[in-house]
Amino acid sequence: MSYLNNPRAIEAQSRAIIAARLGGLGLGAGERDIVTRIIHATGDLEYARLVVIHPRLVAAATAALRGGADIITDIEMVRQGINSSMLARGGGRVICAIREREVAAAAAARGVTRAMAAMEFLAPRMTGAVVAIGNAPTALFRLLELMAAGRAAPAAVIGTPVGFVGAAEAKAALEKAVVPFITVRGTRGGSTVAVAAVNALLHLTWDEEGDD
C-alpha cells in the first residue's frame, strides 16, 4: 500500500487540493484562509460553495481580537476547540455559559433551550466580542433577537449551527443582520466548522502583526 507519511507533505497536498477548488471564487486572502481551514477540518470540498463571509468580517473580527475581545460560544465543544492561548495574546478569553446553574434554571422555568438562555445570560458581555455559534440554531435565533432589540452588540458573529430543524433558517436570518458574519448555507455546519473559522481568524490576527 502506497501513502504519504510525512505530515508536511500531507498538509501541502491537502492545501493544494483545496486551493484548486477555491481558485475561481474571487476570495480575498483572509477569506480564502478561513474557507481553507474549514474544508481542511471537515474534509468536505462542498464548503467552498456554501461558506458565506461578510465583506467586513475579516477586518472587524481581527481588529476586535487584537484589541482584547472575548469569544463567546454556544456550547463547550466550541469553547474547547478554540486556541485560547493565541486569543490570550490580545487579552481575550473564551466564554461559554451553557453549564451555568442560572442558565439551566432560566431555561427550565421558561421552557426554552439552554442555548437560548445562555445567549441572554451573556448578552451584557457581548459588546465588541466575537460570538461563535456552532451547534444550536435556537442560540443564533435568540442572538439575532437580542441584537435587534439593542441588548447585544457583538463585533462579529460566526454562525454555523447544523441540522435539519431551524439551522438553515437561522443562518439565512444571520445573512440579513447588520453585523459582520461567517455562515454556511443549508443544513451543514457544526462545532468543527465554527472552531475552524475562529482559529483561522486568530491566525490572521497575529499573522498580520508578523507573528508566526
Are the beta carbons of 162 and 189 closer than 8 angstroms? yes
Q: How far apart are alpha carbons 132 and 157 in whole angstroms?
A: 6
203 is catalytic: no
Residue of 40, 66, 89, 93 marked active site: 40
SS3 186: coil
161: left (phi over 0), alpha (psi -120 to 50) or beta: beta
**Which sign does the torsion angle of CA 136, 137, 140, 141 carry?**
negative
| CA atoms of 145 and 141, how far apart (whole Å) | 6
As annotated, the active-site residues are 40
